[in-house]
A and B are shown apart, each in its own frame.
Chain A
Amino acid sequence: MPGLEDLYREIILDHYRNPRNRGELETPPAHRVEGFNPLCGDEIVLYLDLDADGRVADIRISGQGCSISQSSASMMSAAVKGKTVAEIDDLTRAFKAMMSIHENSLEGAETTEPIDAPDVKLGDLEALRGVVKFPVRIKCATLAWNTLAQGIEESSA
């Protein structure tokens, strides 16, 4: 039986208590995008500033939510800052794979089928692996990544 320590790893609690890249950016140049988790009322507002090379020049997160959604957003912001859209795409797919979610179904339910994931180091994001054992919380962990994907799509359009 999974225990609380599987879900709330120390690094997650650290990001929850001391969120990175918290705040807002001026729009434009930054792009603002909102994400919601209607089940629990979590909301994330993401400010994304992509430079001319398609690299994340800056990123800020605001909004409110549970420790999982907030820490996941914090970790994500730290992980993608300075990365190109292509690198972020690999990272996103690797994160989805860890969450046992198939490509193009980030909002879908968990699955046990193996997933073809890019060979990317997830670093701190690994701490969220335990969320998979708590299926109702997976959407909390993926909210920030969904919102980022939407922001990149809208910025690049």
Chain B
Amino acid sequence: MAVSTDPLDGTRLKEQFPLLSREVHGKPIVYLDSAATSQKPLSVLDAMDDYYRTINSNVHRGVYMIAEEATNRTEMARALVRDFIGARSSSEIIFTKNATEALNMVAQSWGRANLSAGDVVVLSHMEHHANIVPWHMLVAEIGIQLRWIPLDTEGRLDLTELDTLLDGAKVLSVTAMSNVLGTMNPVRTLTDAARKAGAISIIDGCQSVPHSATNVQELGADFLAFSGHKMCGPTGIGVLYGREDLLEAMPPFLGGGEMIRDVRLDGFTTNDLPWKFEAGTPAIAEIIGLGAAVEWLNSVGMDNIRAHEISLTEYTISTLHQRFGDRINIHGPSSPLERGGVFSFDFDGLHPHDISQVLDQHAVCVRAGHHCAKPLMKLLGIGATARASVYVYNDTADIDALADALDATGAFFTL
């Protein structure tokens, strides 16, 4: 049924993910919730396990061998992340707890130092709460103003008034890909327009970085936030990329150990980048796990992953439409080239919780709810959706299982 060729066909990548071999309710698991968190390949689990078993020690302080090994391993991971997104320097890679913390760091550190009452921050209607609430906090704290890029009928950003929205703005902060609609936004167009208007650009790359090749120079982004756990890495680790000159000029976010060069009774001086923004003992095992995840993704090839997901997106949309016709409504752009493998849908007028409950009995894991994007849900005029999302390890059999389980769901509620 798929028109595009899938470069990952027959590669049996699933076998590298231990969790994907388990059963739930007596059936093989069908994991379709990677937009929430991805599964982890064995190489990531091994790297983290190996850290705890062989070199567990605190980084940057010890002079003994295993502490040096641990330090080297975390800094190697930083270099892997740097190259993975095309950053110029390791100084530009700040490890955070997650992407939410990364976005808050920009808002709190850059924002409080550079924004004052009446300054404009431009967001879009498809943002995740993590790229809305930190700005709402600055509205309350310093009286900044928010402007919103609207959406067109297919769930794409409507950029007709972009220059007007950016006129006089200090910040543009938008997602590279919607976690609800799957829409992939024209990031370069957005960052160019922001630069022309004199605004910095912040890109939420949570849904894009795991799924397609990323180069911050090509994106033209001043800041890029993303999380480790959506790209085959562990939870508890995220990344803030920031342009070095911007990071240098920013005040620190959290204070404590590691982020200082000197502490006196009357004050402190900050450490060099990137450690200036990494107060306290970092998530060492998680950083090493993220490094292993980047190596694993590189071994598969990001362009192959994107091609695989385009192919799977075509298959998903055509399969669900063929089998269910008007009974299903898939939100977001219809062209697989304009979207990622995230499918929010309405089915048979059923509530998403009821859908996901019955799907669970068929071992099909999908998300149900507002997906931390309540302003978008309000715009769509719905309280919640069911959402299936695919990644590198999913295949057409998973989509067939979803369709079969949806069939059973419809039958169950219309008995």
Q: Tell whether A and B belong to one assembly.
A: yes
Question: Would you call A13 an interface residue if the criterion is a C-beta within 8 Å of the partner chain's C-beta atoms?
Answer: yes
A65-B370 Cα distance, complex, nearest whole Å: 13
Of the 9-residue stretches A38-46, A108-116, A120-128, which lies at the interface with chain B? A38-46
Indicate which residue in B350, B357, B370 contacts A7 across the interface (CB closer than 8 Å): B357
Which residues 75-100 in A have Cβ within 8 Å of B in the complex? none
Nearest chain B CB to A34's CB is how many angstroms away? 13
Q: Is the CB of A66 within 8 A of B413?
A: no
Instruction: From the candidates B353, B384, B412, name the one contacting A137 in the complex (CB within 8 A).
Output: B353
Q: Is the beta-carbon distance between B357 and A43 smaller than 8 angstroms? A: no
**What residues on A are CB-neighbors of B25 within 8 Å?**
1
CB neighbours (8 Å) of A39 from chain B are: 369
Also in contact, A4 and B369, with CB within 8 A (given A41-B383, A43-B383, A64-B383): no
B413 pairs with A40, CB closer than 8 A: no
- What's the Cα separation between A42 and B382 when bound, in Å? 10
Q: Which residues 324-365 in B have Cβ within 8 Å of A in the complex?
A: 350-354, 357-358, 361
Asked if B368 lies at the interface with its beta carbon under 8 angstroms from chain A, I say yes
Asked, given contacts A42-B383, A67-B354, whether A4 binds B361 with beta carbons under 8 Å apart, the answer is: yes
CB pair A66–B353 under 8 Å, yes or no, is yes
What residue of chain B has the Cβ atom nearest to residue A136's Cβ?
A: B353
- The interface on chain B, measured as residues whose beta carbon lies within 8 A of the other chain's beta carbons, has a size of 19
Interface size of A as a range: 20 to 34
Q: Tell me the complex Cα distance, A39–B353, Å.
A: 10
B249 is an interface residue with CB less than 8 A from chain A: no
B377 interfacial contact with A, CB 8 Å = yes
Q: Which of A3, A67, A134 contacts B351 (CB 8 A)?
A: A67
A140 beta carbon closer than 8 Å to chain B: yes
In the docked arrangement, what's the CA distance between A7 and B412, Å?
12
Distance to closest chain A CB from B279 (angstroms): 32
Measured between beta carbons, the chain A residues less than 8 angstroms from B352 are 40, 66
A42–B25 CA distance with the chains assembled, in angstroms = 27
Question: CA A12 – CA B369 in complex, angstroms?
Answer: 22
The 10 closest A-B pairs by CB, nearest first: A41-B383, A66-B351, A41-B384, A66-B353, A67-B354, A66-B354, A40-B353, A41-B370, A4-B361, A40-B369
Chain A to chain B contacts (Cβ below 8 Å), 14 pairs: A4-B357, A7-B357, A39-B369, A40-B351, A40-B384, A41-B370, A41-B382, A41-B383, A41-B384, A42-B383, A43-B383, A65-B383, A66-B351, A140-B353
